Amino acid sequence: MVLINPLLPLFFLSCFFWVNHAASTERSTYIIHIDKSFMPKAFPSCHHWYSNTLDSIKSTSSDKHYPQPKLIHTYDNAFHGFSAMLSNEELKALKNSPGFLSAHEDGPITPDTTHTYKFLSLNTAKGIWPASEYGKDVIIGVVDSGIWPESPSFKDEGMTEIPKKWKGICQVGQDFNSSLCNKKIIGARFFNQGVVAGNPDVTISMNSTRDTSGHGTHVASIAAGNYVEGASFFGYASGTARGMAPRARLAIYKVLWDEGSQESDPILFAGIDQAVADGVDVLSISLSYRTIDLYENPIAIAAFGAMEKGILVSVSAGNRGPNFGTLLEGIPWAVIVASGTVDRWFSGILTLGTGLTITGWTMFPARATVRNLPLIYNETLSACNSTESLAEAPDGSIIICVNSFETPEFSDQMGYVSESNARAAIFISEDTSILRSTSFPFPGVVITPKEAQNVIKYASNSSQPTASITFQHTILGPEPRPAPAVSASSSRGPARSYPGILKPDIMAPGVLILAAYNPEVSAAYIGSNNIALSSDYNLVSGTSMACPHISGIGALLKSAHPDWSPAAIRSAMMTTANPLDNTQKPIKDMGMDYDIATPLDMGAGQVDPNRALDPGLVYDVTAQDYVNFICALNYTREQTQSIIRSRYNCSNPSTDLNYPAFVALYDPLEERSTLTRRFERTVTNVGDGAAMYKVKVKKPKNSSVTVSPEKLMFQKKNEKQKFYVMIRYKTYREYVINHGSITWVEERGKHTVRSPIVVTPAEPS
């Protein structure tokens, strides 16, 4: 047998040690990508290869004070390799070893934190819910902070027997036994070896899949929570809660820990890798990682391995908005999800002594008694900028506070008022970010400056002005703002990893979403003493909440169309997405003072599940197509193989991926006035039979768009047709974004297949 490089055994000796505290300061955890083709045939698995090598070289260690080496993780599903604690010298030695592809240092990951089914037009009479049997037997893997299994959202009432294809387990751990799994939660695993390896003295406070933060529980119930009547957040948003795919299964992979989270544990090397092996159909990843390059991004690498197995991967866009180019997770083979508002508002009713009523915004979590109290307004008190300034507020009064650039932030004003003698407050503000917060510890309402005119006039001119406020109201509709609108916090494209493919792909509800939560975690506060309140259901905002909406809808599409690839499912959602809000005007951007949103903010638009069920045409992409794309990115051989491994050839490199969107880039620093970009696309007819489509173009400003041919004729289902797009566009010295669309309209049919066009600078200024 031919032995491997003698440097490799020496490396393996050092890399698998559980180092003591003193040594840990000299080492870091590294993620190592290995070319599996170098494994000697004598070993039945990678694990045996690493372990056997480790056993054979123990005596070669130059430092006898270290404990015997111990593996952190090996991986053989989503990618090939392992994680280990290494010094710089050991890492250098490894780079000369056969099979080595790349290594990068481990780093932290972060989470991106009822009515939405109606907002998305899901109903029991027709459409995707009955067509998919509500996602029956599709398995959604949720890689997050675990789950609170006792939540009513995870009962298995109405669920059938667990699918025979399932290979996972219900891992027993602290406060989590196997009986907590059922026909809804069919699998539960937890991964924290990397956290322990990075900090050997750490004590894991909840060493099991049980969720201690509430984030994973919230995400899982949005994707596939069962039906729960009477759910609410302290009386707000009351009704029957349910997930997007209420009959889908859940497999939980806990990777976020109170003690810290390292990517070697969760994201790639354990959580996703195990989920792929267990047999999930959809992966929901509401997490972000700081690495931009695809070949070092664990989510990107793991998602590629999942895609190869036919698994749809849904990833949150991140919460770094609203600035241009803040999206890091620009993964071409995953669905990247932006966050939008819904048409549901939480209010308090302000009634003046004159009888005038105003609907304001509030999230005060109780039925406070605020009736016919004195209404106080004067310029000294209205700034509400300190405890001292509010000392003159009369006992039992309602004080009026003006929130502006010259006054403290809303949260600070709330704190000052809470410590005053006032009984309640009226806050005057135009800050739309307030509408995304559930923090409202003092009785009061927020109204606009326009609404405040009558209030101030009454309070200033009446001899004994009074007012009342009632709480816990929920209203539906386009007021005070049309919906959906892109959330200000949602990360914007173009993706820093590769700006030439549109990211995010699509938008889903992500602002104040009601879903299950950990009842032992504080969900709201009351009073100046910050009395903590808990709730079985919480209203939370972020792309973390948008992502599981797409995961659940993806599960519905997977159930209805089991033969569709992940790319076909993504295409169906993108080409049927709605770019208009509930006033039938273009979707707006909260983060840009409600200007019209661009595809870099929302992707193709708001997801429309029922239309996605029958899209007419899809833009499909194979694993080899993605390989050709990666091979065109000027990566090194090792960087390329870190993603695609060794099973593919770079036979036809091309960045012109068969994507349902068109991105034309320019560099503001170049002197050119116009550029031309040519695209080639292939669409597959997934309609019932023969069909004819004619193109409709909405060109971006200062651009010309030519599509050839202008008509596509299909004789049968699953037939493919090719077309070409030529975009000639103006470049700018400034950072200007122009956008339009290409839509294939079925003649004498019901299908419209829309793809956004965006002309954009390639990188942030």
397/298 Cα distance (integer angstroms): 55
Asked if residue 720 lies in contact with residue 751, where contact means CB atoms within 8 angstroms, the answer is no
Asked if residue 643 lies in contact with residue 102, where contact means CB atoms within 8 angstroms, the answer is no
Asked if residue 9 lies in contact with residue 60, where contact means CB atoms within 8 angstroms, the answer is yes
Distances from the Cα of 713 to the Cα of 690, 706, 709, 746, angstroms: 8, 18, 10, 10
Whether 144 sits among the annotated catalytic residues: the reply is yes
Locus of tokens 């079925």: 746
Give the torsion sign (CA, 596, 600, 601, 604): positive
Helix (H) or strand (E) holding 627: helix 623-631
Which residues have a Cβ under 8 Å from the Cβ of 414 and sit 6 or more positions away? 425, 427, 439, 440, 441, 442, 444
Whether 544 sits among the annotated catalytic residues: the reply is yes
- DSSP H stretches of helix in 419-538: 449-461
- At position 18, the amino acid (one-letter code) is W
606/451 Cα distance (integer angstroms): 31
Q: Apex CA 668: angle with CA 665 and CA 670, to 5°?
A: 95
Asked if residue 726 lies in contact with residue 662, where contact means CB atoms within 8 angstroms, the answer is no
Q: List the catalytic residue out of 73, 115, 215, 561.
A: 215
Asked if residue 225 lies in contact with residue 516, where contact means CB atoms within 8 angstroms, the answer is yes
- At position 590, the amino acid (one-letter code) is M
Asked if residue 314 lies in contact with residue 548, where contact means CB atoms within 8 angstroms, the answer is yes
Task: Indicate the pairing of strand 485-486 with strand 588-589.
Answer: parallel
Asked if residue 279 lies in contact with residue 168, where contact means CB atoms within 8 angstroms, the answer is yes
- Contacts of 48-57 with C-beta under 8 Å, sequence gap 24+, read 50/12, 50/16, 50/74, 50/82, 53/4, 53/8, 53/9, 53/12, 54/12, 54/13, 54/16, 56/9, 57/9, 57/10, 57/12, 57/13
Tokens of 398: 């309602």
Counting Cβ atoms within 10 Å, is residue 671 exposed (0-12), middle (13-18) or buried (19+)?
Answer: exposed
Tokens of 98: 């056969």
Asked if residue 257 lies in contact with residue 195, where contact means CB atoms within 8 angstroms, the answer is yes
Distances from the Cα of 550 to the Cα of 71, 509, 558, 573, angstroms: 36, 9, 12, 9
3-state SS class at 108 = strand
DSSP letter for each residue of 164-222: TT----B--BTTB-GGG--SSEEEEEE--HHHHHH-TT---SS-SSB-SSSHHHHHHHH
Q: List the catalytic residue out of 145, 418, 544, 755.
A: 544
- Rounded to the nearest 5°, which phi and psi values hold at 165? -70, -15
* Cα 421 to the center of its chain, rounded Å: 42
Locus of tokens 């939370």: 540
Q: List the catalytic residue out of 112, 144, 281, 589.
A: 144
Query: Could you count the other beta carbons within 10 Å of the beta carbon of residue 431?
Result: 13
Give the active site residues.
144, 215, 544
